[in-house]
Amino acid sequence: MTDIKHAKVITTTTMPDGAERIESESYYEHLAHKMVEMEKQLHLPKQSLLKELIECATLLTEGSDKVTIVLERRGDTQVKVTKRWQVSKQAFPRL
């Protein structure tokens, strides 16, 4: 078997609230980065959208370095919100 210098291993776990916990490990000969992110999809009435955006901003102020929000209109009254935020990230020095 050939040694792989570059690789990325991604593991997802479904949480009780429906969110996905995404753990990724990046390798360059050895473990280089490890990151944990959460992703959650919601279907909301348009009136609830502002509350959800404020919640995403709160994630940034409480320590997450990155929050990604995707908004998709679903008909005249619904919005699909996909939010993904970084929980932790570690970098490991190359040996």
Q: How far apart are CA 7 and CA 32, in angstroms?
A: 10
Q: How far apart are CA 75 and CA 38, in angstroms?
A: 27
Asked whether the predicted pLDDT for residue 1 surpasses 60, the reply is: no
Query: What six digits make up the tokens of 38?
Result: 């959460």
Query: What six digits make up the tokens of 50?
Result: 């502002």
pLDDT at site 70: 92
| CA of residue 5 relative to chain centroid, distance | 25
Give the tens place of pLDDT for each residue, 33-85: 899 999 999 888 888 888 888 988 998 888 888 899 999 988 888 889 899 99
* Domains of the chain, each with CATH number or no CATH: 6-91 (3.30.200)
**Backbone dihedral region of 63: left (phi > 0), alpha (psi from -120 to 50 degrees) or beta?**
left
